[in-house]
Amino acid sequence: MKILGIDTSCDETAAAVVANGREVLSNVVASQVEVHQEYGGIVPELASRKHIEAINYIVSRALAEADVTFKDLEAIAVTNRPGLIGALLVGVAAAKSLAYCHNLPLLGINHIEGHIYANFMVYDHLAFPHICLTVSGGHTLLVEVHEGWQYKVLGSTQDDAAGEVYDKVAKYLGLGFPGGKVIDDLAQKGNPTAIKFPRPLRSSGDYQFSFSGIKTSVRYFVEKARRAGVLVEDGQADAMDMSPDKVTIKDIAASFQAAVVDVLVYKSVRAAESTGANAITLTGGVAANSHLRASLKIAAAEIGAEVYYPPMSLCTDNGAMIAGIAYQKYQQGLRDGLSLNAAANGSIVDV
């Protein structure tokens, strides 16, 4: 059974063809990074316009790379929640039009469910229940995943998502956009104990997250260090004699990342321990972070749990994960009519 999956939830126009929920026949993504770089973040109106420009080409390319036509498809799936509303509407409109023209069933998919499912497309032995940590630019969510793709949300961010904070901190440090990879790379060259940034809600006794305080602490630290003349800007460290009171951009990046990862890992492992789950899955754009992957594996091993994360192509937003979970939903009887609409918000427990 082949399904076309479409995702335009944020700043990537994505389409893919997946067979039987797991076999990825094509997975095409058009990035808008260059468009948004000069603004230091995603501009929703520009994202929507770029989706309009790219959507037909990306769908056609996904079909071509999979060597299929619409006659070979059994259904069309599209992310309709949550995300940037204007961006979502582009994908939903395209999917509805294609479903109508080719007389195919239409399935509206929750974007977070797609991320949660991504690991199942790679690891067929993944046991239920397991704990899933979804971390991206728009979401930070800890979920207990049960058989039949039923979910219990254990905790979520109360303010900024972890990926969003990475982008904002990178902007404060003058590192550009997006910030995830550049901070991860810099952090490997810095001292993670140089600055003690806060770990909000780490000891709260629940599974809620808060990253706004870390972001603010980094900003205040950078402003104060620059005023005091102790901050060594990027590229200056090798050209000057470093005194003990000096701090580098690399140190700030490493210390910031250490704080964020510490909270994410601590709560994920505690959730697995308290629920008795022996598997933790990591997914979303921030799942590509090398320090998060390594730290989670080490901490999980201490309680006898395994950690799974998908390849890079299934970490960031993509259509394959949407088509994958759509296969499961199709088997469960999900069908949506042409009245399907987009929604900026949407809980996975409501599906």
CATH of the domain at 168: 3.30.420.40
* In a shared domain, residues 88 and 138: no
End-to-end CA distance of the chain, in Å? Answer: 22
* In a shared domain, residues 143 and 112: no
* In a shared domain, residues 32 and 51: yes
* In a shared domain, residues 224 and 255: yes
- The reply to whether 123 falls in a domain is no
What's the one-letter identity of residue 136? S
* In a shared domain, residues 109 and 136: no
* In a shared domain, residues 172 and 295: yes
* In a shared domain, residues 304 and 329: no
Return mean pLDDT, the chain: 93
Confidence class for position 238, pLDDT limits 50, 70, 90: very low
| pLDDT tens-place string over residues 185-201 | 999 999 999 999 999 99
Cα dihedral 292, 297, 300, 305 in deg (nearest 10): 130
* In a shared domain, residues 198 and 290: yes
Domain count, the chain: 2
> What pLDDT does 351 receive?
43
- The reply to whether 233 falls in a domain is yes
Q: What is the DSSP string of 26-38?
A: EEEEEE-HHHHHT
- The reply to whether 188 falls in a domain is yes
- The reply to whether 291 falls in a domain is yes
Contacts (Cβ under 8 Å, ≥6 apart) of 91: 6, 7, 8, 9, 13, 51, 55, 78, 79, 80, 342
* In a shared domain, residues 174 and 277: yes
Angle at 30 between CA 25 and CA 35, to 5 degrees: 170
Tell me phi and psi for residue 176, to 5 degrees. 90, -175
- Count of helix runs (H) and strand runs (E) in the chain: 11, 12
* In a shared domain, residues 251 and 237: yes
d(Cα 8, Cα 334) in Å, to the nearest integer? 21
- The reply to whether 64 falls in a domain is yes
pTM (global) more than 0.85: yes
- The reply to whether 122 falls in a domain is no
| pLDDT tens-place string over residues 134-164 | 999 888 999 999 999 999 999 999 999 999 9
CA diameter of the chain: 70
* In a shared domain, residues 304 and 324: no
- The reply to whether 205 falls in a domain is yes
* In a shared domain, residues 328 and 295: no
> What pLDDT does 235 receive?
52
| pLDDT tens-place string over residues 312-324 | 999 999 999 999 9
For residue 308, which of 187, 90, 133 has the smallest C-alpha distance? 133
- The residue ranking higher by pLDDT, 34 or 14, is 14
| Domain extent for 328 | 2-116+314-350
- The reply to whether 253 falls in a domain is yes
Angle at 343 between CA 106 and CA 89, to 5 degrees: 65
pLDDT over 70 at 234, yes or no: no
